[in-house]
């Protein structure tokens, strides 16, 4: 990342200007804030419907490692990880796509001398912040419901920021490769598949072995397991693997994003 | 010349031929993903509900949800764009096509898409043994009633709004809560008593009860006529509102 920054002569000031533009864009009308806050509504409703509602059908506790926990405590961390994921990923993939392809924002920034690296850095921070806002709001709800203790909330919040940064980088890398709105169906279906199969509502051990291997390779699974371990105070060595997976995503996907954006702008 | 309704129907089929990819995954694949993820995964925890495996119990609910979602999402952007951006409906107004034809042709088209999606879902559920009764043959009719009632209501909404940014709000505040609390994943009776009437007022719950009764061969929560009556009432109200909204929009 450092060598890449030097090679591209990364200017923090110009990257910050990209971030600042994102901040100013949120001031246009109240609808953005309504959409932002309502972004946590969906995971919250899933927590109430599947976590609490279906949890009643389950009745007793479910086993998580050595812990016996209520089913809603099992689902809540997954919904929190999903908040971090959807806030950051949605902003970086859909938001950035329209800035790049339709609104001409990125083109203008490039013409004004802002480099692809700086654009990606600014957008990465902006999307990570949005993910963090989602996560903080949802974490507040889980703490209020007594599903996460206040002590566990701090490391959990840190984990959600890591998740947000990882998925922001991934979203930016994918965003620049999309051909048009017709590809969005593919992205939203992929997003939904991750949401449903990342050990969100049931441990992945309930699925066929072949499916388990695929799930273990996908990023949201690691995000869910990381948040679940930290929020339930059950972190172990495996937790480090999940965190490392997500941490590696940032430079790798960030690098790919810079290359894609650069290519898209020079076309 | 063909009947104006048929002409409208043919126009939508023609458009669908180039746009079917934009909804193929959500209409054909997504319901199966829910069935496998929630039915298989969570089913492991749940055990049996009302004498059936959890997967078999939610399959009819997911089918009704599919009909609800096709009904709702068909009439969002498609109708909005035809007024605001493409203007196809304004062009129709200058021909022999009347508002009733616009709506009838549209509903007919939605029924075709629904028929395809319902067939695929029923074939998959039958293949995995989640179909328990011959009455299942009536499930598509319930789905049709539910879908058209919802598509009419949403068409009225889409013809009224002036910005497409209302659609994400429609989905977040109306569609998602409806799908999660209409007895698809757990019985409405398990919810606090003061919110239960809300679920009973929603069209999806009636669809879920009827489709579940047909697929499992059980009796629904209310008499069949009552469930059908509520759905029919939704259809009539939706149709009247859609006609009014179209008329109002077409004169300006």
CA distance A119 to A260: 12
Residue B38: name the closest of A192, A174, A115, A185 by CA: A192
- What is the count of structural domains for chain B? 1
A189/B45 Cβ within 8 A: no
**Which residue, chain included where needed, has tokens 């030097």?**
A6
Q: What are phi and psi of B118, to 5 degrees?
A: -65, -40
Q: What is the pLDDT of residue A25?
A: 67
Q: What are phi and psi of B219, to 5 degrees?
A: -100, 140
Distances (CA, A) of B48 to B24, B58, B186: 32, 11, 12
Q: What is the pLDDT of residue A236?
A: 87
Count of CB atoms within 10 A of residue A138's CB? 26
Calculate the average pLDDT of chain B: 92
What are the pLDDT tens digits along chain A (267 aa)? 545 554 555 677 777 777 777 776 665 555 667 766 778 899 999 999 999 999 999 988 888 888 899 999 999 999 999 999 998 998 888 888 878 777 677 777 777 777 888 888 888 999 999 899 999 999 999 999 999 999 999 999 999 999 999 999 999 999 888 887 778 888 989 999 999 999 999 999 888 899 999 999 999 999 999 999 999 988 888 999 999 999 999 999 999 999 988 888 877
Q: Is A197 on the interface with B (CB under 8 A)?
A: yes
Residues of chain A found within 8 Å of residue B45, distances taken between Cβ atoms: 58, 62, 71, 202
Q: What is the pLDDT of residue B1?
A: 60
**Which residue out of B39, B45, B51, B181 would a mutagenesis test of the A interface target, given it has the greatest number of A Cβ atoms within 10 Å?**
B45
- Evaluate whether A228 touches A67 at the Cβ level (below 8 Å): no
**Which residue out of A46, A49, A215 would a mutagenesis test of the B interface target, given it has the greatest number of B Cβ atoms within 10 Å?**
A49
- What is the count of structural domains for chain A? 1
Structure tokens at A143: 């703490």
- Evaluate whether A187 touches A93 at the Cβ level (below 8 Å): yes
What percentage of chain B exceeds 70 in pLDDT? 99
Range of the domain at A205: 2-265
Count of CB atoms within 10 A of residue A113's CB? 9
Q: What is the pLDDT of residue B20?
A: 80
Q: What is the pLDDT of residue B122?
A: 97
Element (H, E) at A64: strand A62-64
Range of the domain at B58: 4-251
Q: How high is the ipTM of this complex?
A: 0.90
pLDDT < 50 positions in chain B: none
Which chain A residue is nearest to residue B41, measuring alpha carbons? A202
Q: What is the pLDDT of residue A8?
A: 52
Whole-prediction pTM value?
0.90
Q: Which residues contact A236 (CB under 8 A, 6 or more apart)?
A: A229
Residue A121: name the closest of A197, A19, A223, A209 by CA: A19
Q: What is the pLDDT of residue A48?
A: 94
Residue A185: name the closest of B159, B63, B77 by CA: B77
- Name the DSSP letter for residue B42: I
- Evaluate whether A131 touches A168 at the Cβ level (below 8 Å): yes
Stated length of chain B = 252
* Pairing relationship of beta strands B52-53 and B48-49 according to DSSP bridges: antiparallel
A31/B181 Cβ within 8 A: no
In degrees, rounded to 5, the angle at the alpha carbon of residue B174 between the alpha carbons of residues B173 and B178 is: 120
Q: What is the pLDDT of residue A26?
A: 61
Which chain B residue is nearest to residue A38, measuring alpha carbons? B172
Count of CB atoms within 10 A of residue A263's CB? 12
């Amino acid at each position: 990342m450092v060598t890449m920054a030097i090679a591209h002569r990364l200017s923090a000031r110009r990257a910050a200007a990209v971030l600042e533009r994102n901040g100013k864009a949120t001031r246009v009308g109240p609808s953005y804030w309504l959409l932002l806050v309502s972004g946590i509504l969906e995971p919250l409703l899933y927590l109430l419907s599947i976590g609490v509602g279906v949890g009643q059908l389950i009745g007793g506790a479910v086993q998580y490692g050595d812990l016996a926990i209520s089913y809603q405590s099992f689902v809540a961390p997954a919904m929190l990880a999903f908040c971090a994921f959807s806030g950051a990923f949605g902003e970086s993939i859909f938001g950035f796509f329209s800035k790049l392809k339709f609104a001409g924002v990125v083109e203008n920034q490039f013409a004004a001398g802002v480099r692809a690296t700086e654009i990606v850095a600014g957008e990465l921070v902006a999307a990570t912040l949005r993910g963090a806002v989602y996560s903080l709001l949802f974490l507040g709800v889980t703490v209020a419901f007594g599903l996460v203790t206040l002590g566990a909330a701090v490391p959990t919040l840190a984990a959600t920021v890591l998740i947000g940064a990882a998925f922001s980088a991934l979203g930016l890398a994918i965003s620049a490769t999309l051909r048009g709105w017709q590809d969005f169906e593919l992205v939203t279906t992929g997003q939904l598949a991750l949401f449903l199969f990342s050990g969100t509502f049931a441990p992945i051990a309930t699925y066929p072995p072949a499916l388990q291997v695929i799930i273990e390779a996908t990023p949201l699974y690691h995000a869910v397991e990381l948040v679940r371990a930290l929020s339930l105070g059950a972190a172990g060595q495996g937790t480090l693997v999940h965190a490392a997976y997500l941490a590696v995503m940032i430079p790798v996907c960030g690098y790919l994003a810079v290359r894609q954006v650069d290519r898209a702008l020079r076309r | 010349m063909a009947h104006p309704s048929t002409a409208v129907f043919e126009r939508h089929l023609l458009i669908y031929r180039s746009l079917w990819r934009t909804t193929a995954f959500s209409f054909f694949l997504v319901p199966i993903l829910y069935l496998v993820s929630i039915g298989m995964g969570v089913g492991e925890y749940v055990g049996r509900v009302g004498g059936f495996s959890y997967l078999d119990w939610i399959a009819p609910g997911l089918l009704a949800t599919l009909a609800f979602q096709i009904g709702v999402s068909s009439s969002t952007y498609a109708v909005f764009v035809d007024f605001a951006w493409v203007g196809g409906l304004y062009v129709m107004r200058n021909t022999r096509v009347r508002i009733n034809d616009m709506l009838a042709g549209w509903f007919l088209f939605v029924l075709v898409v629904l028929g395809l999606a319902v067939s695929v879902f029923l074939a998959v559920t039958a293949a995995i043994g989640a179909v328990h009764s011959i009455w299942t043959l009536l499930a598509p009719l319930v789905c049709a009633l539910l879908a058209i009632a919802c598509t009419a209501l949403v068409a009225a909404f889409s013809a009224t709004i002036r910005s497409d940014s209302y659609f994400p709000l429609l989905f977040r505040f109306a569609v998602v809560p409806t799908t999660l609390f209409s007895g698809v994943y757990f019985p409405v009776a398990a919810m606090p008593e003061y919110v239960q009437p809300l679920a009973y007022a929603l069209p999806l719950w009636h669809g879920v009860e009827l489709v579940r009764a047909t697929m499992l061969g059980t009796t629904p929560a209310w008499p069949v006529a009552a469930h059908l009556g509520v759905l029919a009432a939704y259809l009539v109200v939706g149709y009247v509102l859609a006609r009014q909204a179209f008329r109002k929009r077409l004169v300006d």
